[in-house]
C-alpha cells in the first residue's frame, strides 16, 4: 500500500509548498475510517483512495482535490458523516467529497434504473465543481485497473459504462491520458481477442522493420537542428483501441493503415511550432487532407496542436503533432490544468479552458429534455465528434461536429433561426439543407416567417441542440393537432350516448385520469393514449354495456329482405357491411342473423355448414340513415396530416366514431377510422377524397378478425 511519505513526495515534485499537515490528517482520517475494510482483491480498502490520490498527483492538482481523493469513500462506505468531514477539513472539501459520493450512488442505481437518467444527474452534479469529475475519473481509472477481482458480468457492465460515459467525458474535458487508458482497459474486457490481435501485429511489424520509431525520431531531431529549433521529440505506437477504431471506421485491414506511428515535437514557443512544421514538410512529403491546425483554431476543450501526416522513412506514413510545452500540458491534462500547480504556485496556463461554460450550456439547453434516452444521445453527440469550423457572413467562427449541416449551423446561432430556416448558401451558392459542411466554409441561412421544422429534419442534423429543438417543436405542433383531434373524438364519443361535451365533464375526466388540466385529456385522446371509450367509461360507466364496449349505433333492428317478417339481422362487426355491399346472412342459434359482406374472410368458417347460410338483401327503404364501417389509412407521420384527414372526413358528411393506430413508425403510420356513413357510395367518396391527399399512400376498407371467436360460436 502506498505510504504517506511516498504520496507527499509525489505532491512536492510539483507543489513544494503543499500543506503537509492537511494531507497527513486526511491520510490518517481515511485510514482509520476504512480500518478493517477489504477490497474484493484482498487488499486493504484504503489502498484504493491512496491510488486515486496518486493518479491526481500526475495531473498536478491542488491540495483540496488530493484530500478529496483520500476521503472520497468515507461518507459512502464508513460511519463518517458529511458533518464529520466538514468539521475536520472545512466546507470546500466536504462539498467535494459529498459530490463524489452522489456520483458513486448514481453508479449503484444504474444497475436498476436507466443509465440515461443517471447521466443527466451526473452532468448537473459536476457542473457545480469540476474537481468532483476529476476525482470520479481517477476513481474509475483505478477501479478499471483492478477490475479483474469482480465477476465477469460486472466487468462487462463497467467496461460498457466506461466506454459510453467516462472515457468520452475525459476526452471532452481534454484529459487525453486518462481517456486513452480507460478506453484500452475497457477494450481489454469487451474485445480481448481484437486487442491481442493488434498487439501481435505490432510485434510482427517491429520485427520486420527493425523498430522504426528510434530511427524516425533521430531523423526529426536532425531536421529540427538544421533549422535551429531545439525541441523535445518523442515517438510511440498508437494505442490498440485507437488502431481498432481506425480499422472499424475506415473498413481497412491493419496492414493498410497508414499512421499507426505517432510522433510529438514539443517546442519552446508558438513561433517555433510553425518553424518545426516547415522543417518537417521540407524533409518529407505531406499527405494531402491530413493537416489540421488546432493552434489557430483550438478545440472547445482548449486543445492546441499542429497535426500533419507525412511519408517518412521507407515510405511509412507517420503522424506528427507539434505544440509548445504549455499546449502539451493542456493536451494531456485538459481541465485539470486549470487547477494545476508548478513550483508551489498555482500556474495560470494561458491555454487552459474552464469547461464550466460548456457544462452550463449543456444544462440550460438539454436539461429540460423529457426523454432521458434523448438526453444521453445528445450528450454523446456533444462528446464524441470532432469539430469543423465555419463562418457566418460577418466572419464569426462557429464550431460544429464533423458531419454537421446548414441546419446544425442555423440552430447553433439561435433556436428561432433554426426553426424558421428555409434554405442556405454555402460559400455564396445555394445548397441543400442536408449538405455536410467542411472546414472554412461561409454559411448564410435563409429564413421565412411561418416556417416550422419538419420531422425529416431530425435525420439531417447531428448536433444535440438541433435534434432537441426539432423534437421539441414537432412535439408542440403535434400536441396542437392532438388537442384539436381529441376534442372531436370527445364530442363524438359523448354524443353517441346522448351527452354533451362540457368543460366540467372534461375537468372530471382529467382528474380521474390524473392528467392535471383539461387540455391534457384532449391531447391524450388525439395521441391515442386513451380512447373515446375510456373517456365515456370514466364519466358514465353505467351506460357501458355488458361487453365493455361503448353504446354504438343500434344496428339490430334492420329488416333485411329474405328474412321472415318478424326476424331482423345485424351487420357483422368483423366486416361492417353498409348498403351497397353484397351480403349474406349467417344464422346464429338464439341470436338472430349476422349479416356479412360477401368477401368477409370469416365466412370460410361456415363453408361446411350450408344450412346456416341465408340469401338476404338490403331493404329498399333504409329506416336507418347511418351505418358503422371502418377504413384503414396509411399516411406520412408528419405534423398536421392526421388532422387534415379528419377534416376531409368531416367535409364528406361522416362522423368519426373512433380511431386506433395499427402501426406507428417514424416515417408513417396506419390508422383505422370507424365512421358513420350512409351507404357504399358514401364510403367510396370518403376514401377518394382521402386518397388524393399527397401525404396518403393507401386507403382501404378495414376488416377486423378480432371477432372470430364470437362468430365461431354461432354453430351452437
Secondary structure (H, E, C), 83-127: HHHHHHHCHHHHHHHHHHHHHHHHHHHCCCCCHHHHHHHHHHHHC
pLDDT band at 623 (very low <50, low <70, confident <90, very high): low
Q: Of 543, 568, 599, which closes a domain?
A: 543
Contacts of 403 (CB under 8 A, 6+ apart): 385, 436, 462
pLDDT of 707 > 60? The answer is no
CA distance 274 to 295: 10
In a domain, 632, yes or no: yes
CA distance 539 to 546: 16
Same-domain status, 336 and 363 = no
Contacts of 501 (CB under 8 A, 6+ apart): 487, 490, 491, 494, 495
Range 16-20 contact pairs with CB under 8 angstroms and sequence separation of 24 or more: 16/343, 16/344, 17/344, 17/345, 18/63, 18/344, 19/63
Same-domain status, 11 and 136 = yes
596 within 8 A of 586, measured Cβ to Cβ: yes
pLDDT value at position 65?
93
Same-domain status, 403 and 377 = yes
Q: Of 543, 575, 592, which closes a domain?
A: 543
Same-domain status, 169 and 271 = no
How big is the CA angle at 642 (ends 638 and 643), to the nearest 5 degrees?
Answer: 115
334 within 8 A of 176, measured Cβ to Cβ: yes
For 175-184, what is each residue's pLDDT tens digit? 888 999 999 9
Q: Of 291, 312, 346, which closes a domain?
A: 346
In a domain, 692, yes or no: yes
Output the domain CATH number for residue 68: 1.10.3210.10
Question: What are the Cα distances from residue 684, in Å, to 187, 644, 654, 681, 691?
Answer: 62, 18, 12, 5, 10
Output the domain CATH number for residue 676: 3.30.70.260
What percent of the chain lies above the pLDDT cut of 90? 31
pLDDT value at position 513?
87
pLDDT value at position 26?
95
For 533-565, what is each residue's pLDDT tens digit? 788 888 887 765 433 333 344 445 678 888 877
In a domain, 31, yes or no: yes
CA distance 603 to 715: 12
pLDDT value at position 411?
92
Q: Closest Cα partner for 173 from 108, 123, 237?
A: 123
Please give the backbone phi and psi of residue 108, each rounded to the nearest 5 degrees, phi first: -65, -40
- Residue 27: CA count within 13 A, CB half-sphere: 19
In a domain, 351, yes or no: no
Pull the grid cell for residue 177. 491520458
pLDDT band at 232 (very low <50, low <70, confident <90, very high): very high
Same-domain status, 291 and 239 = yes
Considering only 329-333, 443-447, 494-498, 501-505, which range has the smallest mean pLDDT?
494-498
Q: How far is CA 428 from the centre of its chain?
A: 34
pTM of the full predicted structure?
0.56
Q: Could you list the residue range(s) of the whole structural domain that residue 413 is in?
A: 356-471
Same-domain status, 333 and 387 = no
Same-domain status, 149 and 202 = no
Same-domain status, 98 and 175 = yes
Same-domain status, 443 and 575 = no
Output the domain CATH number for residue 253: 3.30.460.10
pLDDT value at position 279?
94
Same-domain status, 558 and 699 = yes
Q: Please give the tally of structural domains in the chain.
A: 5
Secondary structure (H, E, C), 608-650: CCHHHEECCECCCCCCCCCEEEEEEEEEECCCCHHHHHHHHHH
In a domain, 667, yes or no: yes
pLDDT value at position 250?
60
Per the listing, cell 446544425 goes with 408
Question: Mean pLDDT over residues 205-225, rounded?
Answer: 83
Q: How far is CA 74 from the centre of its chain?
A: 34
pLDDT of 581 > 90? The answer is yes
CB atoms within 10 A of CB 243: 22
CB atoms within 10 A of CB 376: 22
Catalytic residue annotation: 76-77
pLDDT value at position 132?
87
For 663-694, what is each residue's pLDDT tens digit? 777 678 888 998 989 899 999 999 999 998 88
Question: What are the Cα distances from residue 197, in Å, to 116, 156, 254, 309?
Answer: 33, 20, 10, 25
For 461-488, what is each residue's pLDDT tens digit? 988 788 888 888 888 887 887 888 788 7
- Using left for φ > 0, alpha for ψ between -120 and 50, and beta otherwise, residue 42 falls in left
What 3-state DSSP class applies to 576?
Answer: coil
Same-domain status, 617 and 520 = no
Same-domain status, 522 and 669 = no
Secondary structure (H, E, C), 408-439: HHHHHHCHHHHHCEEEEEECCEEECCCCCCCC
Q: What is the DSSP letter of 404?
A: -
For 412-422, what is each residue's pLDDT tens digit? 899 999 999 99
Q: What is the DSSP letter of 355?
A: T
E strand segments, 225-372: 232-237, 261-267, 285-286, 292-293, 306-311, 317-324, 341-342, 345-346
Secondary structure (H, E, C), 181-242: HHHHHHHHHHCHHHHHHHHHHHHHHHHHHCCHHHHHHHHHHHHHHHCCCCCEEEEEECCHHH
CA distance 711 to 473: 47
pLDDT of 459 > 70? The answer is yes
Amino acid at each position: 500500500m502506498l505510504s504517506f511519505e511516498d504520496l507527499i513526495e509525489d505532491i512536492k515534485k510539483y507543489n513544494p509548498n503543499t500543506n503537509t499537515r492537511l494531507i497527513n490528517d486526511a491520510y490518517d482520517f481515511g485510514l482509520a475510517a476504512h480500518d478493517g475494510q477489504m477490497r474484493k482483491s484482498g487488499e486493504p480498502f484504503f489502498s484504493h483512495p491512496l491510488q486515486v490520490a496518486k493518479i491526481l498527483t500526475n495531473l498536478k492538482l491542488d491540495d483540496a482535490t488530493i484530500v478529496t481523493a483520500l476521503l472520497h469513500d468515507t461518507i459512502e462506505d464508513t460511519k463518517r458523516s458529511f458533518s464529520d468531514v466538514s468539521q475536520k477539513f472545512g466546507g470546500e472539501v466536504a462539498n467535494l467529497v459529498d459530490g463524489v459520493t452522489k456520483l458513486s450512488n448514481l453508479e449503484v442505481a444504474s444497475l436498476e434504473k436507466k443509465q440515461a437518467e443517471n447521466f443527466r444527474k451526473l452532468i448537473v452534479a459536476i457542473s457545480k465543481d469540476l474537481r468532483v469529475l476529476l476525482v470520479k475519473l481517477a476513481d474509475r481509472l483505478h477501479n478499471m485497473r483492478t477490475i479483474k477481482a469482480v465477476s465477469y458480468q460486472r466487468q462487462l457492465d463497467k467496461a460498457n459504462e466506461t466506454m459510453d460515459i467516462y472515457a468520452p467525458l475525459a476526452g471532452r474535458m481534454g484529459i487525453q491520458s486518462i481517456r486513452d487508458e480507460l478506453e484500452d482497459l475497457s477494450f481489454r474486457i469487451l474485445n480481448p481477442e481484437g486487442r491481442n490481435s493488434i498487439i501481435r501485429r505490432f510485434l510482427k511489424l517491429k520485427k520486420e522493420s527493425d523498430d522504426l520509431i528510434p530511427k524516425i525520431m533521430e531523423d526529426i531531431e536532425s531536421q529540427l537542428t538544421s533549422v535551429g529549433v531545439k525541441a523535445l521529440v518523442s515517438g510511440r505506437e498508437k494505442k490498440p483501441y485507437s488502431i481498432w477504431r481506425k480499422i472499424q471506421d475506415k473498413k481497412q485491414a491493419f496492414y493498410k493503415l497508414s499512421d499507426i506511428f505517432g510522433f510529438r515535437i514539443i517546442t519552446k514557443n508558438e513561433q517555433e511550432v510553425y518553424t518545426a512544421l516547415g522543417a518537417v514538410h521540407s524533409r518529407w512529403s505531406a499527405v494531402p487532407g491530413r493537416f489540421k491546425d488546432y493552434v489557430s483554431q483550438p478545440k472547445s476543450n482548449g486543445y492546441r496542436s499542429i497535426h500533419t501526416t507525412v511519408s517518412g522513412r521507407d515510405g511509412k506514413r507517420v503522424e506528427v503533432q507539434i505544440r509548445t510545452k504549455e499546449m502539451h500540458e493542456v493536451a494531456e491534462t485538459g481541465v485539470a490544468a486549470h487547477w494545476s500547480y508548478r513550483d508551489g504556485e498555482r500556474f495560470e496556463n494561458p491555454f487552459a479552458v474552464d469547461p464550466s461554460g460548456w457544462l452550463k450550456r449543456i444544462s440550460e439547453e438539454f436539461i429540460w429534455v423529457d426523454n432521458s434516452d434523448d438526453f444521453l444521445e445528445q450528450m454523446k453527440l456533444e462528446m464524441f465528434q470532432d469539430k469543423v469550423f465555419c463562418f457566418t457572413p460577418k466572419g464569426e467562427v462557429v464550431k460544429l461536429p464533423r458531419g454537421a449541416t446548414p441546419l446544425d449551423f442555423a440552430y447553433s446561432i439561435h433556436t428561432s433561426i433554426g426553426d424558421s430556416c428555409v434554405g442556405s448558401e454555402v460559400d455564396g451558392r445555394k445548397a441543400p439543407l442536408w449538405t455536410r459542411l467542411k472546414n472554412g466554409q461561409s454559411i448564410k441561412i435563409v429564413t421565412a416567417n411561418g416556417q416550422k421544422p419538419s420531422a425529416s429534419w431530425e435525420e439531417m442534423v447531428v448536433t444535440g441542440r438541433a435534434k432537441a429543438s426539432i423534437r421539441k417543436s414537432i412535439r408542440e405542433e403535434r400536441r396542437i393537432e392532438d388537442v384539436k383531434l381529441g376534442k372531436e373524438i370527445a364530442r363524438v364519443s359523448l354524443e353517441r350516448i346522448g351527452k354533451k361535451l362540457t368543460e366540467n365533464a372534461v375537468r372530471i375526466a382529467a382528474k380521474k385520469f390524473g392528467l392535471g388540466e383539461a387540455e391534457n385529456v384532449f391531447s391524450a385522446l388525439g395521441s391515442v393514449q386513451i380512447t373515446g371509450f375510456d373517456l365515456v367509461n370514466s364519466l358514465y360507466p353505467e351506460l357501458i354495456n355488458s361487453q365493455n364496449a361503448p353504446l354504438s349505433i343500434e344496428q339490430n333492428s334492420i329488416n333485411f329482405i329474405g328474412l321472415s317478417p318478424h326476424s331482423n339481422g345485424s351487420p357483422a362487426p368483423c366486416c361492417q357491411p353498409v348498403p351497397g355491399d353484397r351480403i349474406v346472412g349467417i344464422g346464429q342459434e338464439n341470436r338472430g342473423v349476422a349479416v356479412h359482406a360477401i368477401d368477409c374472410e370469416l365466412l370460410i368458417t361456415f363453408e361446411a355448414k350450408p344450412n346456416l347460410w341465408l340469401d338476404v338483401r338490403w331493404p329498399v327503404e333504409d329506416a336507418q340513415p347511418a351505418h358503422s364501417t371502418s377504413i384503414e389509412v396509411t399516411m406520412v407521420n408528419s405534423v398536421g396530416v392526421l388532422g387534415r384527414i379528419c377534416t376531409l372526413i368531416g367535409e364528406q358528411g361522416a362522423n368519426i366514431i373512433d380511431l386506433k393506430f395499427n402501426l406507428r413508425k417514424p416515417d408513417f403510420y396506419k390508422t383505422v377510422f370507424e365512421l358513420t356513413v350512409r351507404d357504399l357510395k358514401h364510403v367510396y367518396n370518403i376514401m377518394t377524397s382521402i386518397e388524393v391527399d399527397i401525404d396518403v399512400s393507401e386507403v382501404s376498407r378495414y376488416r377486423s378478425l378480432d371477432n372470430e371467436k364470437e362468430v365461431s360460436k354461432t354453430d351452437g
